[in-house]
Structure 1
């Protein structure tokens, strides 16, 4: 891709997200989301094969549908209340339509079907953008309207996302599809916490982005795309294998790693609001996600010497590591010490 085109795309993605996060008017937020969507599509379709074109088309259709529902919802609210202010989503029907639209924007269930296919048809770098940066704008809007969200909509969407993310990831051998279902499951935890503790929901998605970013960067460094590729990771880069193992265990929510922090806070918030049954179901469904996390960590570590592997070695690896990985990995693994401050 030409440097000027790449610069324009990055500028469009950045400006679109900043427009949404700083907007007070629904039309401004909608324009930011559209700019964000239009900028990411060339990055998805830059590979010259049919799979990437199909992924870009699916992403465009899904995002355009969600934008249309969101625009109709905000126009209906402005018609009924006389204001386009994002924080004044007082119309019940508008609020009912806005939550599924934002869930579709993020790729949460039940509108999750296209996210794994889009990630599989993209490069690992583009998949990183879709699962992290592209979630910032809709999550910001969801956080802004959290006072007007209805729990009978957010809780089923969140629970269904956790269930779909766990079940869908078990059958995957492609790492990008597995991370897509992991993103769906973590979005389920975020959406569920929105109606009871929006600040904790925001903390949950920030921690997930902090954990998934170095994992994707390590996938790019080790040229790993499938579970079979992870079996050779220890042989040519044992520090990368250990780091990826810890990151996966953190994403699964095992203490004392970072991923345990938001899940514990969300379960505590749900129990406080007398939603113990829902909290129990979420904790049990998270075991589904833990299954494919542990399977991947087993493949990463079980091929350590003197165990032999039947897979071909991955030669011609990049000789350098991304410095971002070294910065984000300690934050993604060992900030469990912030727990007492969060509980106060």
Structure 2
């Protein structure tokens, strides 16, 4: 892609998200989401092939429908209250439409069907943007309208997302689809923190999720793997990278003593403090589904040795791998910040 075109696309993408996150007016928030939508479409289409065009079309139709619902909700709220402020969402129908639009934007159940298909149609770098940066603007809107939404509907969507995210990834062999279902499950965990009114845990969960997703996608880009079969033959080529992927996968599954355990631990603790035992128990049980397919990935990558001749171990000496300077600090953060959890709670 032309460097000037790339710079223009990323400038529009970043500006749209920032405009939505820092706006207090529904029209500017909607405008930022539209800028975000139109900037990501060329990235999904690149490289140009029928599969990427199909994914871009699915993404466009879903996100455009969500934007239409969001604008309809904002107009209904304006007719009812006479204000365009994000913090004055008093109409119940407008609140329901707005919540539906945000769930579609985030790819949460029952509007999750576009996430695996679009991610599978995109490159690894574009998939990284879809699962990290593209979540910031809808999450900021959801956080601001949290006092006005129906918590029962949001809780049902969150629990369904955790279940679908674990169940859908069980039989997958395509790594991008596995990461898509992982994102659906993480969005379910993240929205439960909005229900319990704890912004510190929400930000911590979002930060750790973005770090873990960036680390996993960078490891996949360095290893140039897109399927489970490709990962199964990677230990001989890059054992250190595969060991990093093993620990990062365990962290993403929420296994102690890695960093991914911190948000799950804090979320369950906060819900129990609110005198609710059934919901965190169900969430913990459904999280085992995610941990299962993370363990399957870890078993294929680092816990088995593919039967090959010794000459293949020299493959990495003659293969030019992609070098990402941010990979090392990301691996450290995604695995070793659990002891810092008490310090993070000081700001609660």
TM bucket, shorter chain: over 0.9
For 1:300 and 1:121, locate their aligned partners in 2 and report how far apart those are by CA, in whole Å: 24
In the alignment, is the contact (CA less than 8 A) between 1:197 and 1:266 conserved in 2?
no
Q: Which has the larger displacement, 155-164 or 225-234?
A: 225-234
Normalized against structure 1, the TM-score is what?
0.95
Higher mean alpha-carbon deviation, 222-231 vs 95-104, is at 95-104
Residue 312 of structure 1, CA deviation: 12
**Conservation of the 8 A alpha-carbon contact between 2:232 and 2:306:** no
Task: Tell me the distance in 1 between the aligned counterparts of 2:248 and 2:321.
Answer: 22
The Cα shift of 1:259 comes to 0.6
Aligned counterpart, 2:109: 109
Measured in 2, the distance between the counterparts of 1:215 and 1:331 equals 12
The residue that corresponds to 1:336 in the other structure is 338
Shift of 1:305: 7.8
Asked if the contact 1:232/1:313 (under 8 Å) is kept, the reply is no
Distance 1:34 1:146 in 2: 22
Mapping for residues 44-59 of structure 1, pairs under 5 Å: 44-59=44-59
Counterpart-to-counterpart distance in 2, 1:201 and 1:233:
36
1:323 and 2:336 are equivalent in the alignment: no
Q: Distance in 1 between matches of 2:320 and 2:239?
A: 15
* Shift of residue 109, structure 1, vs aligned partner: 0.7
Partner residue, 1:121: 121
Q: Which residue of 1 aligns with 2:11?
A: 11
Deviations 1:272-303 (A, max 9, x none): 22221111111100000011000000011133
1:76 alignment partner in structure 2: 76
After TM superposition, the structure 1 = structure 2 runs for residues 1-344 of structure 1, keeping only pairs within 5 Å, are 1-199=1-199, 200-304=201-305, 317-343=319-345
Q: Unmatched 5+ residue regions in structure 1?
A: none
The worse-fitting range, judged by mean Cα deviation, of 288-297 and 316-325 is 316-325
In structure 2, the CA distance between the partners of 1:160 and 1:314, relative to structure 1 (3 Å rule), is farther
Partner SS state of residue 234, structure 1:
coil
How far apart in 1 are the matches of 2:118 and 2:227?
A: 16
Quick one: structure 1 residues 56 and 81, their matched pair in 2 at CA, closer, same or farther if it must change by over 3 Å? same
Deviations 1:65-119 (A, max 9, x none): 0001111111111111111111222222222221121010011110101110101
1: CA distance, partners of 2:319 / 2:99: 44
Change (3 A) 1:94 1:233: same
Q: Distance in 2 between matches of 1:75 and 1:156?
A: 26
Q: Decide whether the 8 Å contact of 2:237 with 2:313 is kept in 1.
A: no
Contiguous gaps of at least 5 residues in structure 2: none
Go from structure 1 to structure 2 and tell me whether the alpha carbon gap of 1:188 and 1:137 turns closer, same or farther (over 3 Å shift).
same
Q: Residue 177 of structure 2: SS of its match in structure 1?
A: helix
8 Å contact from structure 2 (residues 236, 313) kept in 1: no
CA distance in 1, matches of 2:204, 2:242: 27
Separation of aligned partners in 2, 1:150 and 1:264: 25
Contact 1:232 1:312 in 2 (8 A): no
Change (3 A) 1:314 1:142: farther
- SS where residue 48 of structure 2 aligns? coil
